[in-house]
Amino acid sequence: MVNIVAQYQFTPYSVILLFATLIGMVVAWAAVRRRTTPGAGYLALMELAAAEWAFAIFFESAATTVPLKLLWSQIAYFGTATSACFYFLFALGVAQEATRLTRRAIIMLLAVPSLTIAIALTNEWHHWLWTTIDIQSPSNLAVYSHGPWFWVFLVYSYTMVLAGMVTLVRSTRQLPPFFRPQMLLILAGSLVTAAGNVIYVFNVNPLPGMDWTPISFALNGAILAWGIFRNQLFDLVPVARAQLIENMVDGVLVVNTQGRILDINPAALRLLGVGNQTLIGRQVDEILKVWPRLAHYSGEGLVLPVESRPGKGVSCYVDVRGSLLRDQWQRPSGYLFILRDITQRRQMEEELRQANVCLQHQLQENQLLQDKLQAEAIHDELTGVFNRRYLVELLALGLVRRGNQPFSLLMLDLDHLKVCNDAYGHQVGDRLLRQLSDLLSRNIRAGDALCRYGGDEFVIVLPNTSPQEAYQCAERWRAAVESMIWDLGGYKLRTTISMGVAGYPGMDGPNDTLLVAADQALYAAKASGRNRVVLWHPGIAHGSGNRTPIGVTGAPIVLSSGWRLSAD
């Protein structure tokens, strides 16, 4: 063990190489965590190759014998031979052009690195890669004389690096302004690596034999690590989005779980009313006051009123549709919001709402008018009670008579109304008719119906009332009217009424026949001297000439519940 350690002499250069190894491993680990991002997988392979290269050179630079230096140089070529190819594939991935490469094309790109590794491992047989190795004193660094294959491999490596840089430059021109510094950062790291290799290959070293390429890879890794951790380089999707996202009419806003804006397109800037400010990297709650609502977004549509300037009112309405973004381990990593201008739709909805309100108002007015017309169609204009039309329909439908239940009609007429009209005027007569209808309306049951039959004639429909009960009530009304003094606007008059009663049981026939019978009974009351009640009997119908009021004989009759009479 002591003999092995004695064969190595570690220097500050060795420490730098070890540091470069660690940086390469860290960057590779960060890229693996974001392997779903375009180019991240190839970046991880490139940094692993650079880390392996630097680690092998760490031992090669410390080795004190030619065989050990050759051994570690051969091991280093696993990373040396592949790093340039992986860089080119990384550039294609960032530019989102790697999908154009088939598996066969990738195998062909790796053919030269694979052949180079094989040549490095068998160099003692042919010396195509290294011809001689000279250890410098006192630095212990080795100067390698290169064979013909080295220059073939050098051309291949520089071609890969140059092609990758051209790809990045070309894609940079297609990017929106914010992404260009990130891409220029990658290019700067590439130039550092290329410069370190040129210094070593063409022997312009201040210290002959010192390989600056692993160190430049370390610097490139540090630059990329800064871009990844500080500027969240791989949280952004660079090139292809420019053609789609930048030109979308709808706004796109991407925010990470810490509330930092990762991406926003011009449409979103316009819809949110923030102009052309550079918002990427800023906290979203500095821009959007509604962020607390968006941060707890449930997936349903959210209408966001936006003011172009504070205090100037709402300039537009934005419909926000969001979704939660997850990483490869299904952990929440951010939010994607799609913003759509719905101002015109809201205006149309408001116009439609107002039109609907107007329509509902018009329908209500039409219904009120229809109800009024319907009420006027069945109510008497002068007195407000039901009219003759309603009475005819009521009797025709048979709604007031059910089975064998008793049923009566009462027809009444003001005595000598024509004399009142001639003496005091029709206005006094009309007022008398209204007061009489009010009196009768207050003294009938809820199921009864008072109808003005015509002129000064009224009909009262009395369901569930026998003719005898109807007669008793009619007599009470007649007496009340006879005793009243009617105040008719400057005239105080007395009047009487005549009444005819007909009903079931007591007669046969339909309801309209009952109306005829009540009219016959009323005629008999008027013909026999007025101010009386006549109960219909067959003699009236057959013209017996009996004009004497027909009363109720026998035992007293108990009136139906609900009857009342008041003269006030």
Residues 17 and 132 in one domain: yes
| CATH assignment of the domain containing 69 | 1.20.1070.10
Residues 215 and 77 in one domain: yes
**Residues recorded for the chain:** 568
Residues 99 and 146 in one domain: yes
- pTM here is 0.47
Residues 229 and 261 in one domain: no
| CATH assignment of the domain containing 258 | 3.30.450.20
Contact 222, 23 (CB under 8 A): yes
Residues 250 and 169 in one domain: no
Residues 225 and 295 in one domain: no
Q: CA 351, CA 532: separation in Å to the nearest integer? A: 68
Q: What is the DSSP letter of 297?
A: -
φ/ψ of 494, rounded to 5, equals -115, 150
Residue 229 lies in a domain: yes
Cβ-in-10-Å burial (0-12, 13-18, 19+) of 206 comes to exposed
Contact 186, 43 (CB under 8 A): no
Look at residue 189 in the predicted model and tell me its pLDDT: 72
Of the candidates 198, 138, 127, the one whose C-alpha atom is nearest the C-alpha of residue 162 is 198
Look at residue 14 in the predicted model and tell me its pLDDT: 80
**Which of 341, 366, 400 is the last residue in one of the domains?**
341
Q: CA 533, CA 524: separation in Å to the nearest integer? A: 9
The pair of structure tokens assigned to 95 is 């530019």
| CATH assignment of the domain containing 437 | 3.30.70.270
Residues 39 and 129 in one domain: yes
Give the mean pLDDT per block of 10 residues along the chain (568 residues): 67 82 85 74 86 88 87 90 88 71 85 93 92 82 87 89 83 62 71 71 64 70 64 53 66 81 80 70 68 56 59 66 74 81 83 90 87 82 91 75 79 92 90 93 91 93 92 94 89 92 78 85 93 89 44 30 33
Q: CA 69, CA 402: separation in Å to the nearest integer? A: 123
The b-or-e profile of 267-296 (16+ CB within 10 A means b, else e) is bbbbbbbeeeeebbeeebeebbeeeeebee
Residues 323 and 448 in one domain: no
Look at residue 114 in the predicted model and tell me its pLDDT: 94
Residues 273 and 194 in one domain: no
Residues 67 and 130 in one domain: yes
* Upper half-sphere CA count for residue 223 (Cβ side, 13 Å): 19
**Which of 184, 206, 235 is the last residue in one of the domains?**
235
Contact 271, 341 (CB under 8 A): yes
Q: CA 66, CA 79: separation in Å to the nearest integer? A: 21
Q: CA 251, CA 306: separation in Å to the nearest integer? A: 14
The pair of structure tokens assigned to 378 is 């069945």
Q: Cis peptide leading into 138, omega within 30 of 0?
A: yes
Q: What is the DSSP letter of 453?
A: E
Domain enclosing residue 205, as ranges: 2-235
Residue 565 lies in a domain: no
Report the domain count for the chain.
3
- Identify the sign of the CA torsion 25, 26, 32, 36: negative
Residue 96 lies in a domain: yes
Residues 217 and 277 in one domain: no
Residue 418 lies in a domain: yes
DSSP 3-state helix, strand, coil percentages of the chain (rounded to 5)?
Answer: 55, 15, 30
Residue 554 lies in a domain: no
Residue 556 lies in a domain: no
Residues 393 and 331 in one domain: no
The residue behind tokens 């050098």 is: 154
Show Cβ contacts of residue 119 under 8 Å, excluding neighbours closer than 6 positions: 126, 128, 129, 149
Look at residue 90 in the predicted model and tell me its pLDDT: 84
Look at residue 322 in the predicted model and tell me its pLDDT: 76
Q: CA 373, CA 369: separation in Å to the nearest integer? A: 6
